[in-house]
Amino acid sequence: MQIRKATKSDKKPVLDFCQSPYSGIDYIANVWDFWLRDGVFLAMERKGKPIGVCHASFSKNQVWVEGLRINPKFRQRGYGSSLVLKTEQIAKMKNYKISRMIISNGNKKSIKLAKSLGYKIEDKWYLYNIKPKRKQSLVIPATNSKQIENLIDSDTYSKSWKWFAFDKPAISELIKKRKILVFAHNKKSLAVGIWNDSEIDNDVLQVGYLNGTKAGMKNILYYIQNKGYEQNSKRIQILAQQKVKLNMKDLDKRMLFCLMKKDL
């Protein structure tokens, strides 16, 4: 049994034992070639064949662990733990201090595995879907951090199913890229949202953070629906903290996820 870098030839045998709990098609099929070039993509090999994989990407002070897959025939043997620990070892060598991952709230075995490795639930996030539609709103891109400082109630935000530190440098960069949206009334900011185009699916628009009053958040979503309509997005994904209560027509609540964190 050995852990090595994943290769292009590993793709078919790995996908043969992978099955998504959502649609039967695992998303790693779409990102495999990108993962070969990005971060660290590891495979566990047994008798010349891959029986598991795990990917890690690095940003600022963090390693993001994702895509952990083990052949069902070889589960409950510690192989998943070995792959995660190997990514952590590499991260420590590069002086990264935090490891994060996202797990479906219903995937109790994976949550138990993460906790056994020292991860804790940092927050819980809901996935919602909403359809692109022509809408009107008074939402504008934020131009300075003071507009939103009272609306930031999270240490992280999401981008393409990765969570990043929501600190001052990140806010400045997001404002510069016009990714932070704000809804204001009588010169008072009532809601904030962060949007991005998915790096996994070309035709998906995403909201990676949302907070504010009900009316304010509704306007943020109107803006996103209209943006999705204008750029012919197939669908819109919204990721919002469990404590943020969203209630809007056409809003489809899908799944709850646990954001896991470990200090390295």
With a CB cutoff of 8 Å and minimum separation 6, the contacts of 104 are 21, 110, 255, 256, 257, 258
Last residue of a domain, one of 55, 74, 96: 96
> pLDDT tens digits for 101-112?
999 999 999 999
The one-letter code for the residue type at 46 is: R
First to last CA, the chain: 26
Query: Are both 216 and 142 inside the same structural domain?
Result: yes
Diameter of the chain by CA atoms? Answer: 68
Strands (E), 47-170: 49-59, 62-70, 98-104, 120-130, 140-141, 156-159, 162-165
Per-residue pLDDT of the chain (264 residues; tens, 9 = 90+): 899 999 999 999 999 888 655 445 678 988 999 999 999 999 999 999 999 999 999 998 999 999 999 999 998 899 999 999 999 999 999 999 999 999 999 999 999 999 999 999 999 999 999 999 999 999 999 999 999 999 999 999 999 999 999 999 999 999 999 999 999 999 899 999 999 987 777 789 999 999 999 999 999 999 999 999 999 999 999 999 999 988 888 899 999 999 999 999
**Statement to judge: residues 130 and 231 lie in one domain:** yes
Do the domain assignments include residue 132?
yes
Same domain, 50 and 176: no
The whole-number pLDDT of residue 27 equals 84
Does residue 209 lie in a domain region?
yes
The tokens describing 47, both together, are: 């008798």
What single letter denotes the amino acid at residue 17?
F
Residue 108 lies in a domain: no
Cβ neighbours of 226 (radius 10 Å): 17
